[in-house]
Amino acid sequence: MLPITPLPTAQTLLGVTGVRMFVHYENRIPKDAKAVVVVSNHRSFMDAPVLIQALGQPVRIACHHYMSQTPLLREFVQLLGCIPLQPSQKSQKTFFEQANQVLHSQQWVGIFPEGASPMLNITHPHEIREFQRGFAHLALKTGIPDLAVLPVAIGSIEESLMPGFPVRLLRLFDASEPMFDRSGSHPVVVYHRINVLVGRPYWISADEYQQFRGKGAKKVVTQLTDYCRQEITDLLRLSV
């Protein structure tokens, strides 16, 4: 098994691609938090190393199931310390358990709540899709005092679209994923210049943990999800 080396791996990859990255609002990074869940928009394979490098933390980022099964990609995500999701039609219990253990060991976990869809159906650099709520459930289940949820916006200033490969090839590695049962190619966005804007962290209170365990669970999950999506939306507007 390869060693987990998120920071040097991210630095090497971004150095090879030559991307110019400008980080804004670094003072918002919660350096002294016991654990942090990082939430970001997602359009490129470069997003994971960008977050790691911009935050200066070995963030353990959730990755799609197929990435942990595909040769070369598998080794790449292992070096980055990514936590593979389960196939889309299966329960994510294993992922949640592993991510929870990482957070309780006072490490950072990163999640892209838009999922993989924006990578297959490329969105405008400053467009954001609906958020899945899994990250909010993960954060609220931990019960960790002083846990922060940190929204981060990745705003592309200059990029190129590389020739893709047939989407259906990915079914060889994850036949259960409905997105892979389509014609056409998988586009590959390569950043050249980007703004990374750090949002205001959302600190989960003891009262919110209590609500999550009771009848207020839906309300507090919605509140956290909407806060992060709005924060990233506002930051993307500033990144133009």
Q: Which two tokens stand for residue 152?
A: 């981060």
Question: By C-alpha distance, which of 69, 72, 146 is closest to 104?
Answer: 146
- Residue 215 has phi, psi (to 5 degrees) of -75, -15
Q: What pLDDT score was predicted for residue 181?
A: 65
> Which residues are within 8 A (CB) of 131 and not within 5 positions of it... i.e. 6 or more apart?
113, 114, 225, 228, 229
Predicted confidence at residue 33, as pLDDT, reads 86
DSSP letter string over 94-147? HHHHHHHHHHHTT-EEEE-TTTTHHHHTTPPTT---PPPSHHHHHHHHH--TTE
6-238: which CATH topology?
Glycerol-3-phosphate (1)-acyltransferase (3.40.1130)
pLDDT of residue 176: 65
Contact 10, 124 (CB under 8 A): no
d(CA 191, CA 201): 26
Question: Which DSSP symbol is given to 1?
Answer: -
Distance CA 42, CA 191 (A): 12
Please name the residue that has the structure tokens 């389509």.
182
pLDDT digit of tens for each residue in the chain (240 aa)?
567 788 999 999 899 999 999 999 999 999 888 899 999 999 988 999 999 999 999 999 998 766 666 666 778 888 888 998 877 666 788 889 999 999 999 999 999 999 877 666 777 888 899 999 999 999 999 999 989 999 999 999 999 987 776 666 666 666 666 666 666 666 788 999 999 999 999 999 999 999 999 999 999 999 999 999 999 999 999 987
Task: Give the position of tokens 């002083």.
Answer: 146
Strands (DSSP E) along the chain, which ranges? 20-24, 35-40, 60-63, 83-84, 108-111, 147-166, 185-198, 202-203
Q: What is the pTM of this model?
A: 0.89
**Beta-sheet pairing, 20-24 with 185-198:** parallel
Q: Output the pLDDT for position 224.
A: 98
The per-residue pLDDT for 184 is 67
Domain boundaries, the chain: 6-238
φ, ψ of residue 200 to 5 degrees: the values are -80, 125
Provide the Cα torsion 168, 170, 173, 177; round to 10°. -80
